[in-house]
Amino acid sequence: MKRTGFLCLLLVVVISVANGPSLAQDPEEPSRVFGVVDGYWRPDDAEELGVSWERITFDWSHLQPQGPGNFEPSEVREEWITQAISSGREVVGVIVGTPLWASTNGQTNGIPSGLYEPSDSPSNLWAVFLRELMTQRTTANIRRWIIWDTPDIRSGDPGQPATLDGSAQDYYRLVKIAYQTIKAVNSKASIYLGGLVWWNDVAAGRELFLQQYLKIVVGDPSGAENNDYFDGVTLNTVIPPAPLPGITITSDSAGDITNSVRTILDQAGFQDKSIWITELNATPTADPAGGLPDAPLQISLEQQANFMIQGTAMALGAGASRIAIYKLFDSNFTASITPPYGLLRPDNSRRPAFDTYAFAIELFNTTISATASRSQNGRLVILQQEGRTLYIVWTARTQAVNFWVEAKFQDEPTVLDAFGNAQPTPRVGVGPNGVNVHVIETPPAIPDANGNVIMGGSPRILILEGEPRHVWAAVGTNALQLH
């Protein structure tokens, strides 16, 4: 792979998103864009949802708690894998957790002993485990592996605990050994960096973990002839119940972070690496049937549902090739203590976000290319599909925005809300330079108790036949062209 010079980027989130790439797919696989985490908990619901893949965790510390050579068969059951595959869902595995007997610090976030030994050395316990894992019946039909989760959370960071008590160099070694070992067993396997959360580095004012990592990749002379030991990057972009100190996370984050990661990869010469969002959600802390009433961020069920449209659209517009919701079901849940992430509650009742995600999958799944742009108050994502174009629009602030989309005489516009309900036919107005436009009215965003706008307003989806058109965002008579 030809690399360009590595550019150090400032610790900022790129705000402008434009001309996102096509949704490239593996030519050997059908299109698999939309997924869910832990679909095996409720496989019938996962099938009804319409997802085409799911992520399942392989926790080494649970799989081999006593030592090498033996696996706990109840930790990841073969029927979970076979049932998903029989329903048409690809299973993607994420490997985490060092067992105490293999850990250099005696904890499950420790660096595995012998990590810097050669991959074929019996002293490299990580490599030994991976070879054993790849020979299990449960992994026979899995070819995509994510190595660890949230490795960019450092020990001492506020919020979530560190899952890896090591440096970017240690993580690089973890991934490199995984790539060599797994590919030696399955040459068609793909390896992905695990679940970067992004905001911890920003809050701490330090160089982004991904930047540190890519510098190490560039400095390894063996990398270029080995696909740099990774195929892509995965991201966790959940809006949590409580943000990090000094950080405000909004519904724009899914697009902002994806776009910034794409820029970092491209400028470092890794244009061929894909970006997945493996955890996308807005935590419905204000759910009256099992929320977190004392959480700093109060997100309603309606806002979570709206985010299924906003988040997936923004992610597509920024170039994410796969997107999964974290998570399908609130397993191991304790009311008023456990964050209510699930599309399904512990009693199996569905939060409204289940239906909006199902609708998003059905409507967005045939997208050929996606672009995203914005004004101060408005958000626009354009999805181009065979013979038609979707315009997903919403207000990002408390001032309502009208979106003007270029109109043609023969148009038969369809406008839908986040649940797929038909809205009134838009009126036709006159836009800049006398252009006829369809006027799409979007409701304002609702601020939280502190006056902060965390979630955008309810989105509207305009469907028109043909190629993408000119679009403007208007507040009153002031209009800004977005496309």
Q: How far apart are CA 384 and CA 382, in angstroms?
A: 6
CATH fold of the domain at 34-366: TIM Barrel (3.20.20)
Question: Mean pLDDT in the chain?
Answer: 92
Sheet arrangement for strand 401-406? 427-430, 436-442, 401-406, 471-475, 478-481
- Cβ contacts of residue 284 below 8 Å, gap of 6+? 291, 299, 300, 301, 303, 304, 340, 351, 353
Q: At what angle do helices 168-185 and 125-134 cross, to 10 degrees?
A: 40
Span 83-121, pLDDT tens digits: 999 999 999 999 999 999 999 999 999 999 999 999 999
Span 390-418, pLDDT tens digits: 999 999 999 999 999 999 999 999 999 99
Indicate the DSSP class of residue 96. Answer: E
User: How confident is the prediction along the chain (483 residues), in pLDDT tens digits per residue?
Assistant: 434 333 333 233 333 333 343 333 344 455 799 999 999 999 999 999 999 999 999 999 999 999 998 999 899 999 999 999 999 999 999 999 999 999 999 999 999 999 999 999 999 999 999 999 999 999 999 999 999 999 999 999 998 899 999 999 999 999 999 999 999 999 999 999 999 999 999 999 999 999 999 999 999 999 999 999 999 999 999 999 998 998 989 999 999 999 999 999 999 999 999 999 999 999 999 999 989 999 999 999 999 999 999 999 999 999 999 999 999 999 999 988 999 999 999 999 999 999 999 999 999 999 999 999 999 999 999 999 999 999 999 999 999 999 999 999 999 999 999 999 999 999 999 999 999 999 999 999 999 888 889 999 999 999 999 999 999 999 987 889 998
Kindly compute the dihedral angle of the four CA atoms of residues 404, 483, 385, 271, in this order, to the nearest 10 degrees: -150
CA angle 320, 14, 360 (to 5 degrees): 35
Q: What are phi and psi of 94, to 5 degrees?
A: -115, 125
Q: How far apart are CA 103 and CA 112, in angstroms?
A: 5
Q: Nearest Cα to 462, choosing from 444, 476, 483, 434?
A: 483
Neighbours of 369 (CB within 10 A): 16
Q: Where are the domains of the chain?
A: 34-366, 375-481
Q: How far apart are CA 348 and CA 343, in angstroms?
A: 9
* Interstrand relation of 460-465 and 436-442 (parallel, antiparallel or unpaired): unpaired
Beta bridge partners of 379: 374, 394
Question: Given this structure, which CATH class describes domain 375-481?
Answer: mainly beta
Neighbours of 333 (CB within 10 A): 16
Tokens of residue 244, six digits: 């990090």
Q: DSSP for 315-371?
A: HHHHT-SEEEES-SB--S--TTTS----SB-TTSPBPHHHHHHHHHHHHHTT-SEEE
Tokens of residue 225, six digits: 């002839």
Tokens of residue 163, six digits: 């899952």
Q: How far apart are CA 169 and CA 213, in angstroms?
A: 7
Given a contact cutoff of 8 angstroms between Cβ atoms, the answer to whether 472 and 464 are in contact is no
Query: Alpha carbon of 357 to those of 50, 86, 324, 380, 459: distances in Å?
Result: 9, 22, 10, 19, 13
Give the per-residue pLDDT at 14: 32
Given a contact cutoff of 8 angstroms between Cβ atoms, the answer to whether 277 and 313 are in contact is no
Q: How far apart are CA 358 and CA 201, in angstroms?
A: 33
Give the per-residue pLDDT at 30: 56
Given a contact cutoff of 8 angstroms between Cβ atoms, the answer to whether 251 and 311 are in contact is yes
Given a contact cutoff of 8 angstroms between Cβ atoms, the answer to whether 208 and 11 are in contact is yes
Q: How far apart are CA 261 and CA 14, in angstroms?
A: 9
How far the first Cα of the chain sits from its last, in Å, is 34
Common-topology check for domains 34-366 and 375-481: no
Which helix (H) or strand (E) covers residue 273, if one does? none
Q: Convert 384-443 into a string of H (helix), E (strand) and C (coil).
A: EECCEEEEEEEECCCCCEEEEEECCCCCCCEEECCCCCECCCCEEEECHHHCEEEEEEEC
